[in-house]
Structure 1
Amino acid sequence: MAIPGNLLSPTTEMVDPNTSGWTTKLNCTISKGGGGRNGDGCLLVKSIAAGETQVRTVSSYTVTPSVTYQTFADASGATVPERIGIRWLDTAGAEISITWSLVTMTAAAAWHRISVAGTAPVGAAKAQVLLSMMTPAAPNVVSYFENVYLGLPLRTTGNLFGFGTESTEIDASGWTPEVNATVSRQVPVVSWAVDWYWAGGHTLAVTATAAGNAAAATVDRPSVTPGVEYLAYAYLQPPTLSSVAWLELRFYDANGNQIQATRAVLAPPGTGFYRQLLSAVAPAAAATCGIAAGLDGAAAGQVLRLETVVVRNLVPLVTGTVLPYSSSSFEQGTGGWTVTSGPATLARSTPWGAAAYSGNYSLTVTSATAATSTLRSPLAPVTDGVNWRAQIIVRHSVGSWTSVRVRTHWYDSGGGDLGTSTGLAYAVPPGSWYLLTSDATAPAGATQAAVEVVPVAAAAASVLWVDGVALWQVLPLIAVEAVSAGGYIQLTLRELPADYLISVYRITPDGARTLVRGPDGLINQQPIDSDAMVLEDHEAPIGVTVSYRIELYSTTGVLAATRSSEPVTLSLADINTSWLKDPANPQRNCLVLVQQAPEWERPIEQAAFVIRGRRNKVVLSGRRQGLEGDLAIWTRTDAEREALHLLLDSGNVLLWQAAPGMGVDDMYVSVATISEGRIGKLAQEQWRTWTLPLTEQDMPVTAGVNGAAGRTWQDVVAEFATCADLLTVYATSEDLLLDRRMG
């Protein structure tokens, strides 16, 4: 599979179907091996004699000086360790320098990641990837490489930290020792998933200087907003199974004083890498944040390794839930839950990954006797008079449980008890996770509420796991809004089931169904990656009442549920205007003033034959083609003129939409050579007259709607220090939106 943003060709990346993307550089031969992960092929490198071996890409790839680039590959070599490098070349192809990774700590036959990042030096115009086996002691020593990437650094979208702090592929300057520790970089042997591109290669090593507690913290302190909930995580590798390894999210005021710290202790099942999550709400005086990590009770020389360090705005388990993540997913403890009655006790599940539906831990409920217990979450803000839904996800662990009831307990602003909803009781058989919900309307005066879980144990020593808790106001499952000023209909879908597939249809009054376009093309049995989805349908017809049908599939082709929207109609304020739209780039859509509609032609391919002795010719015809004609329009301002040029520059298939009653149906068109003229002699006149030769086209079916793909201004701030830095990277504001970088 092609790695996103890779400058290398698929053949060079995958070493499939051949090794044509690679050539020898030092002391080796190459051939195609088998057993790869990114396709079957891989690069087999064999030493000719003792000493280091090197291979490089055949092609050189354009780079920009002072811009940071990353390269990585998966390697396998049972005899000697490896390293990877970026070879910087000038315009004449001469080598300027090489940015090498550290050498892998040990040789390993298992596929493992090697990686490095560096800044292109002054004078660099091209770059090559270098793969190296370190000093084989004899000829015929073999290593394998594949899944190779060269391009801009791959970082976690939404991370408040820049690439240098998230990953130590450049250096360890984003970290500083805090207590009894040193920080450095190491390259342990780690087998990451072939398509997990955000980890691997260098890791941060926090080494205890002497026996005792050891810790390190980030130097980078990105800005935060008070009252916002943040999620932090990192992959931790403890030195021993019994190590007390922890991760901490810290908040600082404007003067740099630490004002809050939230810690999560890893419960490791082994000594591999495990992602530890934690969350916290930024306090009122918070201005910045940071991450710390460490070992409690470490022995001298013990090492805690970190990989992929992230802090980002929290994406809740359920859109709109008012419960904090810590009380919903139990990643750092029991989340403030209490037992208000009964013999049950609460604890975070252990070890990491043993019992979890969301994240890596759950709430473990243990009842020593056969009895009923009541568990209560912390209070969360609610609005009275509206419907609220409580949700838990539970699994029967051991023992026997008669039932589990889910309900909501209401309180006023002073903490006064306003009663408890009846809730619903469910049977929970062993073997699976079950999603349990109950709805209730908040009584008058309610401003706070807690989720209550009432499990009934039928035997002593019964254990129940609880995870994925949420409490949210119940809103329509599907909502539509006509945004006529923008020429689109906004479609909001809620409470979508995870791991299902979805199709979205637009239905016109004649019953015709048309798939709606999304980021990955027409939405036809595409995977659901969030419980909520907001779509903008820029291809909805003008002046026609439409509705939407949602189909949910449990697996491909297996329809599980459907939903339908209310009818909605787009309008056009001025019938003399029409829309010209790029379905894949709605940010370019233009509302233009029509001067004259086309005089249509429908060409046809024909061949005429004269038959001797016959009066009439014999004409062989193909199928008559679609409409062709010239659309005459005006632009009234320089801004409209520039916007129309931007729309037409790509040469993409466009959608032309006129007002109802104008005798023109919505039409996909391609635009040939355009003409732009002035309407008067005055130089300052901004009006322009345009002739657009249109040829009718079929609807593009594969094009997806381009967008920021989750990027926000925070991602820009994390990567660039000033606005001036953007000028050398992005040619236009649209390039910034779509993260299309120059070079």
Structure 2
Amino acid sequence: MSSEALEGIRSMRLTATAAGSVEAVSPRFTVAAGKTYVARLPIRQSTSTAKTVTGRITWYDAASGGSVISFVDFSLTTNATVGWSAANYVVASGVAPAGALSATAAITVAGLSAGEFVNTDDVYAAEVPRRANDLLEYNTGSCENDTTGWAITGGTRSRVAGVLYAGAGYYVMAVTSSGAGQVSARTATRYPITPGTTYVAYAAVQGTATALSGHFAIEWYDAGDVWMSTSTVSETFDTTIRRMAISATAPAGAAKARVMVRPVATGAGQIIYVDDVSLCPAPNRPGNILTYEEYSSESTFPAWTLPGETLERVYMTSGITDGFYALSFAPVAHKIHRMSLDRLLPVTAGTTYQAKATYFGHNPSATEATQMTYRVFMDWYDSAGLLLLADNPDGFYSMNINPNGLSGTTSTETRTAPEGAAFARLIIELDHSNSNVDRYYIDGLSLLEASPEYELVSDNATGAVRLTVHLLVPGAPRIHIQRVDQDGRKAYVRGYGQEYKLYPYAGTTMVIEDYEAPLGTRVWYSIRWTNDAGTFRYNSLDTQAIAAPVLENPDYVWFKSPGNPALNTRVLMESPLKWSRVARSTSFTVVGRKNPIHKSDVRSGRTANVTALIWDPSANALFDSLLDTGLPVLIQAMPGYGVEGNLYLAIQDSEVEHLDPDARVPGWRWSLPVVEIDRPDGGLQGSAVSTWQDIYDDYTSWEELFDAHATWITVLTKG
């Protein structure tokens, strides 16, 4: 032990017992085959004589014991100084071979005289966090071991201590110009690539005081290593640390590629630092109709239209965005900002597509939370590029952003391309009307073929809206479904046995029948998947608005059983409702006073006498069955009939009489004293669409039913 330390107050001292070398080997650490590992091995010299230091990682086929599979070595010559030489620690790195289960890190120092010692401390060994499918070797991209992975023209290269971005290691490559002109730093290796595939390259770069122009590029070569072409982006090299990026598609005939950083020096001795270089197949979403740059805006600025605002490409990283850049704008006006991709995207009529976007918002307030409100959708265009059908988008989603917070999320929408559609335009809307967000970020945009997330159908025959939810949310135990009326009022939809509030979720397609959507209005549905307590949201889905059912003959009204839709029926009301409200008050005469003392309470609810006319015997029997239940009823009528919205009633004693003196002629008049009540609680029993009688009529046996349907969901949805 020694008091010379990098961490804490002690370090390990290695003393040569004779002239030669000393070695220290670490304990075993667990590794996984195919993963890249790095070991950083600092030393402190006790003399001013340069030493040869070797770092080694040895791979074993067992967690302990076992046999050596192989090892990797990296050596360097230290500086001729006493002390810790942070600028020149040895680093070893390599990919764990097949069968490797453990490894050791070792440091060997040669050239010591007897009694001479070195110290080591703050030794680090771990898996390297690499970008998925990076073609570059770790040492080439990081220069942690050395700079042999690079070829320089117009200058020289060296490995120096430094960090441009946290997590990218301890060393960078310094490229020093030999004179004025282009200084090209290329990967020494030409990496195999696939023609027609899009690749993205990154490099962290910093210049010195003199700002230099230049390029960041991918060079393409054929199978014989003959240069074919170069894809470039213009860059500035100055004291700002930049994450340079370029994405490009490998041309036909290309077989290999190199990454190149190329500043244009104005004189000798100018330095740029390079680190964290990678070359990967662009991680676009599989099947995305958008190009990678439209998806992620990593190196170029796709053409978008955002009226009244300045759209920028800015540095942005997160766990749900792609790469290092995103689209962004600082909103000026408090309004709904509509952002549309200029390029029309090719689609096929009759095919369902999913649009998806990722959003972030920054809240500048130190004390107050704010909301980010957003959605993505698509309009349809014909083969001539003319608007065919504007979307009726899903509702806006929103999320809370805490004070001084930066929060992000995603949203999707699925639509089926209508007949005649040849193109779609991707559109994003951010409702900034009442938000204090000072900057929005947009990334991860896609449009790809998909299954519909939901289907929404309005059925006049049953007076119901049918919502089929195909979107599956694994792991969520509960689901909540609310109908949102055109005035913004929300009500939980009735499910089987209970309302869709903390409703048990089985992780399968769900069919929801809503018989209480107000006639002739527009409604949409808000769906949330949560934990058992309803306090954590797994996912959410807001549907588009749909026109609720109508009565084709506006003289009729629906009489519905809120909990038993099979009893719902249409009747003709003989006259408009005439309401009365009984006063809850009384007066007391007091001796010696001119006026009585009056006491009152809230006036009672509305009461009326409903007279319904029915001519169809089956409808009359159904209406009689509805009354038999003794349960409250829902009356729905078209706007203008005098029944506004949903009217829930308790029916008192009823009377019925024939309309014709001849009782053999169908026709009945029902007289119903009613009292208005609040909406009753509870769920549904059965369906107006599919009843057991339908099953009995369509199938002769259980075996025939089970052969036709794998689940009860398909029985309900397909009959």
TM (normalized to structure 1)? 0.45
TM-score normalised over the length of structure 2: 0.46
Larger CA Rg, structure 1 vs 2 = 2
